[in-house]
Amino acid sequence: MKKTIALLPGDGIGKEVVDVTVEVLKTVAEHFHHQFHFEYGLIGGEAIDQKGNPLPEETITMCKNADAIILGAVGGPKWDQNPVHQRPERGLLALRKELDLYANLRPIHTFESLIDSSPLKKEYVNGVDFVIVRELTGGLYFGKPSERVDYQGEEAVVDTLFYKRQEIERILVTAFEIASQRRKHVTSVDKANVLESSRVWREVAEEVAARYPEVTLEHMLVDNAAMQIIRSPRQFDVVVTENMFGDILSDEASVITGSLGMLSSASLSSTGLHLYEPVHGSAPDIAGENRANPIATILSAAMMLRQSFGLEEEAKAIEKAVDNVLNSGARTADLAPYGNPMSTTRMAEEIKHALADDHAILNIMEAYS
């Protein structure tokens, strides 16, 4: 299979984790006889520095010509004081909007060998397996007005939570579709006791649920959901929620896996051109130190192989290699704060070896079958 992958490493550890993910993908290409062509583009702080724009036009064009996109992370203290249109995050938000990447899937599951890395008790995190479906192109992130205002002579500020009914509907449909392939339970998270947008969200959720009789729907208030994710995370199968709630709950849920450095994500679009990125940010405190955990990005690449290219076996091979390496005790600093941590590049090397070894064994088995 021949595919073009747009790479947007971005800022901070983004570059380090994308670089090693490319190496892993090259190993996959070699073993499974595919041709992956990689194109690099600028986004975020680096794009501001080089082009004066967090999302240069050429980056958008490059992405649109690719089969899938892998992004590292954007942001850093260097640009914190910039005006809003010159902030790195604007690049990512504008890209999500431009490509209509409306459905952000964030799988949360326990990695058996990391059970002790979670600050939560074993019996709570054991066997957790759910996916957060976060709406990604609406809500508070994009509503207008979003500005400082003069309110009757006083300094004031406004952000707007705006959704078209159709935007709510399509994310709920995505959630129900996913649930129907899983354990057939949707938890729709909102704040319907306070927000009108949430009351409409509930209405739409009920309408969509009626089309999926085999899937059960439960509504949950976001404050309660924040508690339930820690208290009894096994109850969840598919959690669907608006943009800001999803942002907050997914960082919280990462604690179950042991580290934010483990969480992968796929942002699906209406056009079929999808973007894959780790849930974590640019981690400026460890940038350039070869200390970041690359697994979130490597697992995002596995999601890409499965979702965008239909390469199930290849995706599984990466996931299995990651499991094997973790089982062997390999840990980056986020997972071994008191131990002897592995570097980013070393962790990726281990994963590549595990991939290659496994493949070698498979070939031997095939030869004798």
Active site residues: 141, 191, 223, 247, 251
* Residue 92 within binding range of ligand IPM, rule CB under 6 A: yes
Nearer to Mg ion by Cβ, of 242 and 247: the residue is 247
Q: Is 281 part of any known ligand binding site? A: yes
* Residue 56 within binding range of ligand IPM, rule CB under 6 A: no
Q: Is 264 part of any known ligand binding site? A: no
Nearest to 23, CA basis, from 10, 40, 36: 36
* Stretch 260-279: interaction string toward ligand IPM, x if CB under 6 A: -------------------x
Q: What DSSP string runs through 88-125?
A: HHHHHHHHHHHTT--EEEEEEE--GGGGGGSSS-HHHH
Nearer to ligand IPM by Cβ, of 89 and 100: the residue is 89
Q: What DSSP string runs through 29-65?
A: HHHHT-EEEEEE---THHHHHHHSSSS-HHHHHHHHT
* Residue 252 within binding range of ligand IPM, rule CB under 6 A: no
Shortest Å distance, C-beta 239 to ligand IPM: 15
Strand 103-109 and strand 129-135: pairing?
antiparallel
What part of residues 67-86 is at the interface with ligand IPM (CB under 6 A)?
Answer: 74-75
Which of 19, 23, 39, 89: binder of ligand IPM (CB under 6 A)? 89
Nearer to ligand IPM by Cβ, of 1 and 140: the residue is 140
Helical H segments across 181-311, by residue range: 196-210, 222-231, 243-257, 295-307
Nearer to ligand IPM by Cβ, of 13 and 92: the residue is 92
* Stretch 197-236: interaction string toward ligand IPM, x if CB under 6 A: ----------------------------------------
Q: Are 10 and 3 in contact (CB under 8 A)?
A: no
> Which span (5-13, 87-95, 145-153, 340-348) binds ligand IPM, by CB under 6 A?
87-95
Q: Is 86 part of any known ligand binding site? A: yes
Q: Is 88 part of any known ligand binding site? A: yes
Nearest to 136, CA basis, from 243, 238, 222: 243
Shortest Å distance, C-beta 257 to ligand IPM: 15
Nearest to 59, CA basis, from 91, 86, 37: 91
Nearer to Mg ion by Cβ, of 28 and 103: the residue is 103
Strand 2-10 and strand 68-73: pairing?
parallel
Q: Helix, strand, or coil here: 66?
A: coil
Question: Dihedral through CA 356, CA 276, CA 293, CA 124, nearest 10?
Answer: -100
What is the CA 108 to chain-centroid distance, rounded? 10
92 binds, among Mg ion, ligand IPM, none (CB under 5 to 8 A by kind): ligand IPM
What part of residues 196-255 is at the interface with Mg ion (CB under 5 A)?
Answer: 247
Nearest to 262, CA basis, from 326, 198, 213: 326
Q: What DSSP string runs through 319-332?
A: HHHHHHHHHTT--B
Would the CA dihedral through 130, 266, 11, 241 be positive or negative?
A: negative
Q: Is 340 part of any known ligand binding site? A: no
**Which residue lies nearest Mg ion, judged by its C-beta?**
247
* Residue 247 within binding range of ligand IPM, rule CB under 6 A: yes
Helical H segments across 211-291, by residue range: 222-231, 243-257
Annotated binding site for NAD(+): 76-89, 281-293
Q: Which residues sit at the interface with ligand IPM, rule CB under 6 A?
A: 74-75, 89, 92-93, 247, 279, 281
Q: Which residues sit at the interface with Mg ion, rule CB under 5 A?
A: 247
